[in-house]
Amino acid sequence: MLQELRILLQGAQVLTAFLVVLPFNQSFGKIHPFEKWVFTATFLCSICSMVFFSAPAAHHRLIRPLINRMTFKLFATRMILIGLLFLSFALILVTQLVVWQVLDTTTSILVSTFVGILILFIWWLFPLFLKKRVGD
């Protein structure tokens, strides 16, 4: 679980770092007002993913020594899944932003939809399918 968390947290941190510097770019002020709302939603999703990914570490540190490991594992798993949900939205939205700047609105919608479908199947549905299949 910790190894998974290290990978997810670093990904969220890199995305958030990219988003933090974006508004300080001169051309950011020239983007469409709707893009600014998309940026804000992306930034908030990215920040929320970091908060949820780091929650198990903060929780673990505050309640040491662990009395009930199973309860903690359940809590950590829930936090990781919620963080993964926010990271999923952040990746879809950041795809929308980048492609919108590089190409056009229609293409950005198509590409971000593709990324959303890819994330849905690879991160969410396929693991649940495997879990159900192995469980049978």
- CA separation for the pair 133, 136 (Å, rounded): 5
Burial (CB < 10 A; 0-12, 13-18, 19+), residue 5, is: middle
| Residue 89's pLDDT band (cuts 50, 70, 90) | very high
Q: What one-character-per-residue DSSP string does 84-131 give?
A: HHHHHHHHHHHHHHHHHHHS-HHHHHHHHHHHHHHHIIIIIIHHHHHH
Residue 75: which domain range?
2-135
| Secondary structure letter of residue 66 according to DSSP | P
Mean pLDDT of 110-136: 91
Number of domains in the chain: 1
Is 101's pLDDT higher than 60?
yes
- CA separation for the pair 59, 33 (Å, rounded): 39
Is 25's pLDDT higher than 90?
no
Mean pLDDT of 91-108: 95
- What's the pLDDT score for residue 3? 77
C-alpha distances out from residue 108 to 44, 71, 87, 113, Å: 20, 42, 19, 8
User: What's the whole-number average pLDDT of the chain?
Assistant: 91
Mean pLDDT of 92-103: 95
Is 136's pLDDT higher than 60?
no
Q: Is the pTM of this model over 0.85?
A: yes
Mean pLDDT of 81-99: 97
